[in-house]
Every structure is written in C-alpha cells, then in structure tokens.
Amino acid sequence: MSLVGALPFLKPRLSPSVSPGRQRRHTLPASEFRPLNTQDAISVFEIEKEAFISVSGDCPLHLDEVRHFLMLCPELSMGWFEEGRLVAFIIGSQWDQDRLTLDALTLHKPKGSTVHIHVLAVHRTFRQQGKGPILMWRYLQYLRCLPYVRRAVLMCEDFLVPFYQKSGFKVQGRCSITVASLTFTEMQYPVRGHALMRRNSENTQHHMHTLAVFTHAAKFGSFAKLLVQ
C-alpha cells in the first residue's frame, strides 16, 4: 500500500523551510510489519493498557511481562507500524500442552509446538479500520513459515469469540484460567494441515523470505521492513 511517485528515480527537491526532522519522517515507509523488540515495550504497553483496562480492568501482559516475552521470543511477535508509529501488535510465546494452564500466562516453552497468542491490540485512533483482522491474518500466515508450529491458541472473553472465529479459530471449550471474576473461552487455529497450506511454489518462496527477514530482525534487532502489499 506504500505510495510510489510517478518518477520514483528522481529525488524530490526539498524546500529550505522543511526541517531535517520532517525530511527524515518522509523516509519512513507508509506501512511495515516487523517483529517487536524490548525497545518497543513501552509503546506496546501503552496501547494495551488503553485497550484493556477500561473493558476488563486489567491487561493480559504487564510491562515487565511484555519485556520478558520480547526478550525470550521476539520472533513470535508482530508489530504494525505506520510512518514509524506502532498502531497494532500481537505477542505470542510457545506452549507445550494441549490446553492452556496458569503457567501459560508467564512461561515460554521453547520445545512446544503450540503458539500461545497472549494479546492482540490496536491503537485507539486506528480502530474500526479492519487492522485487527488484517494483522491476525498476516501473523497466522507467518506462523506457517515456522516448521515447529502446529497450531495457535488463545483465550478470550465470550464477546470476542465471533471476532476470532472470523479469523478461522475454533472453540475448544471453557478455559481453566480465570482472572478475578473473568472467565474465558479457549480457541485454537490449526497452522498445519489447513487448506491454505496447499500454496504454490511462488508463495512458498515468499513465505520463506518473510521467515528469513523476521528471524534476522528478531535476532539482531534490525528494523528490516516488510511493506504492506
């Protein structure tokens, strides 16, 4: 979706009145997806806090837990940035049991074949624009690049079940985890064995390239860009 000028090979002449800060801003892509890192933790938490406190009274992840997962498994996170600003994100970790337990809220199980999606949140000024479903779709497609992932799971309040069903998640039943008076529905998405796995070789190459970029960015903290297409 990034806009390309009619003459992309000509450098535009910048007016002397344009400040260096504004010049740098225009070098940022219109939209990008990349793995998150600990430097993004505060922005993540600010969005999460605003999105969840007013509805549920608490956040799925507190700031120290956000940092915890972004240190242990940054490759299982995804942030959507517009002109350098975080507008939506997902944070996940690996899990090694059939159902979620209380330990799943704080532990990362590197040998697990399940990705536990802890939180999906969108900045308040970018809601009602379809960004949540788009980000979830891209995240699930990215998980298909990871050979150790067999499924994705999450827990949500009942009113959010239809939202996740539209992304392909199926209800597993009531979750054993409760937070204060809140109860949750557990849902899962089969990453392996899904019809979309029957992709052609071109898509396979694209997804493997995506995996290589995300792995490099997560490991070395680079800001490799994945432009919205």
So which residues are the catalytic ones? 93, 107, 118, 120, 164
| Angle, CA 144 vertex, CA 158 and CA 208 arms, to 5° | 150
> What are the residues facing 80 on neighbouring strands?
33, 88
The DSSP letter of residue 86 is E
Which run of H or of E encompasses 154?
Answer: strand 151-156
Cα separation of 117 and 77, whole Å? 9
Cα separation of 67 and 10, whole Å? 42
> What are the residues facing 77 on neighbouring strands?
91
Residue 74 · residue 218 · CB < 8 Å? yes
Number of other residues whose CB lies within 10 A of the CB of residue 113: 16
Q: Which of 176, 195, 192 is nearest to 184 (CA)?
A: 176
What is the torsional sign of CA 120, 47, 216, 82?
A: positive
Residue 62 · residue 6 · CB < 8 Å? no
Looking at the chain, how many residues does it have?
229
Residue 188 · residue 152 · CB < 8 Å? yes
